[in-house]
């Protein structure tokens, strides 16, 4: 909520960021790096969440949604993250 948004491609600046999206050439969710521009990148919703059927290669926004979508929806709706309302809406979006 109180995050500072920084636009940069400078690797030194990116190394200081808590979360990096769509730049940096790295997909590493443990380090909160969500870029899809590597030639080796092939992740889909299904490869990351085998309970989901979608096989289209994810964009950076798709990676963020995959990892945080349920949590965000649950917070906005005041519903449990694993509840049927959040699950249905997550799948629809």
- The pLDDT score that the predictor gives to residue 1 is 75
Strand runs (DSSP E) across the chain, as ranges? 20-21, 27-28, 33-34
- The pLDDT score that the predictor gives to residue 33 is 98
Mean pLDDT by 10 residues, the chain (93 residues): 92 96 97 96 97 97 97 97 97 95
The residue ranges of every structural domain in the chain are 11-91
- The pLDDT score that the predictor gives to residue 86 is 98
pTM to 2 decimal places:
0.90
Give the span between the Cα atoms of 93 and 91, in whole angstroms.
Answer: 6
57-69 b/e (C-beta count within 10 Å ≥ 16 → b): ebebebbbbbeeb
């Amino acid at each position: 909520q109180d995050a500072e948004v920084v636009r940069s491609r400078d690797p030194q600046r990116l190394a200081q960021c808590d979360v990096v999206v769509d730049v940096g050439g790295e997909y590493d969710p443990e380090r909160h790096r969500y870029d899809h521009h590597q030639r080796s990148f092939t992740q889909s919703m299904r490869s990351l969440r085998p309970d989901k059927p979608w096989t289209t290669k994810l964009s950076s926004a798709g990676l963020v949604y995959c990892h945080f979508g349920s949590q965000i929806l649950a917070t906005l709706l005041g519903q449990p993250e694993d509840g049927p309302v959040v699950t249905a809406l997550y799948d629809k979006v």
